[in-house]
Amino acid sequence: MKHPLEQLQKEFSQLILSPESNAAPTFFATEVRLTNQRLAIYRGNLQSIWISTLRNSFPVLQQLVGEDFFAYLALQYGRQFPSQSGDLNQFGSQFAYFLAHEPSVASYAYFPAVAALEWQMHCAYYAQNIMPISLAGFLSVAADAAQQCRLIWHPAAQLFQADYAAAQVVLAHQIQPIVAIDVPLDTPCQALLSRASWRVELSLLDSANFLALQALERGQTLGDALALALAHDAQFDIPLKLQSWFASGIFVGFECKE
């Protein structure tokens, strides 16, 4: 009697998802002495795929925990958060959540924040390509109405904030040799992700800068965003910040009130 296809595939999956197996079912035609060895090849492939995919998306975390422990985490993650897509670029979407609940890293409270930031950078890397606008271009068109304009964000430009120094940790790992961060790990961080030249750039933001950009991201006018920043920091350098924002390529258009 034939095995129902769905049942056979389900059993095959269980065999390669389990850490090991010495009791291959009877539906294989391959020599019995070889069946478990061959299943081990598929099991190894699956595990390699999980490890290499997560390594690509979370390079800093891998450096933080080391190759072997990262592989252990990848296998735990792969079993607890099954891949939901044939597109492996989606596989790490729950990794930060997993780390926040994984007992073996419970004493490293900043890991989930680092993972969340790396995942956000991964997504920004694949975001849509749209030509940013320049500050000069914006001012020449918006002219006197600039303060009443809402700026449209580039899909790769995003804000990040966490209760831990995740952005500082990631930035420290972008330099070779890796440098020590100069703040305690439980320092909250605010940062901007941008992609002016394909590579995702990460910039730390002070509170006033973050508040202004957050207001713009939420659709408030440039005037309201700058007022918010000035209320927080009377020394907020508007021309300098505007130059910096537009140079990062984070805006792709604008809408002005009539």
Partner 1 sequence: MHERPSLQGNGIGLRTPHYHQFLEQAIDIDWLEVHSENYFGDGGFDLHVLEQVAKNYPLSVHGVGLGLGSAAPQQLDQIHLKKLKRLVERVQPALISEHLCWGAIATQHMNDLLPLTLTAKSLALVAERVDFLQNYLQRKVLIENVSTYLRFRDDEMRESQFLIALSQTTGCGILLDINNLYVNQCNHGEDASAAIQDFANLSEQIVGEIHLAGHTRTEDCAIDDHGSCVAPAVWDLYAQFCHSVSAEVPSLIEWDTDVPALSVLLEEAKKIEQIRRRVRADHETSA
Q: Which pair of tokens denotes residue 229?
A: 């920043």
Q: Toward partner 1, which CB reaches closer, 28 or 97?
A: 28
Among 156, 172, 170, 184, smallest CA distance to 250 is for: 156
* Residue 29 is a binding residue for partner 1 (CB under 8 A): yes
Q: Give the span between the Cα atoms of 231 and 86, in whole angstroms.
A: 49
Q: Of 2-10, 113-121, 157-165, 186-194, which part binds partner 1 (CB under 8 A)?
A: 2-10
Given 54, 63, 71, 89, the residue binding partner 1 (CB under 8 A): 89
Q: Of 30-38, 175-183, 207-215, 239-247, which part binds partner 1 (CB under 8 A)?
A: 30-38
Q: For residues 11 and 26, is the Cβ–Cβ distance under 8 A?
A: no
* Residue 103 is a binding residue for partner 1 (CB under 8 A): no
Q: Toward partner 1, which CB reaches closer, 52 or 243?
A: 52
Q: Give the span between the Cα atoms of 139 and 137, in whole angstroms.
A: 6
Q: Which pair of tokens denotes residue 5?
A: 């296809």
Q: Count of residues binding partner 1 (CB under 8 A)?
A: 46
Q: Give the span between the Cα atoms of 97 and 100, in whole angstroms.
A: 5
Q: Which x/- pattern, by CB under 8 A, does the window 173-202 give for partner 1? A: -------------------------xx---
Interacting residues of 41 by C-beta distance below 8 A, sequence separation 6+: none
Question: In this structure, what DSSP letter does residue 30 have?
Answer: S
Given 22, 107, 129, 140, the residue binding partner 1 (CB under 8 A): 129
Q: Give the span between the Cα atoms of 148 and 126, in whole angstroms.
A: 31
Q: Give the span between the Cα atoms of 243 and 228, in whole angstroms.
A: 18
Site for partner 1 in 209-238 (CB under 8 A): none
* Residue 18 is a binding residue for partner 1 (CB under 8 A): no
Q: Give the span between the Cα atoms of 169 and 162, in whole angstroms.
A: 12
Q: Toward partner 1, which CB reaches closer, 156 or 216?
A: 156
The site for partner 1 (CB under 8 A) is made up of 2-6, 8-10, 12-13, 16, 26-30, 34-35, 37-39, 41-42, 45-46, 49, 53, 82-89, 91, 125-130, 155-156, 198-199
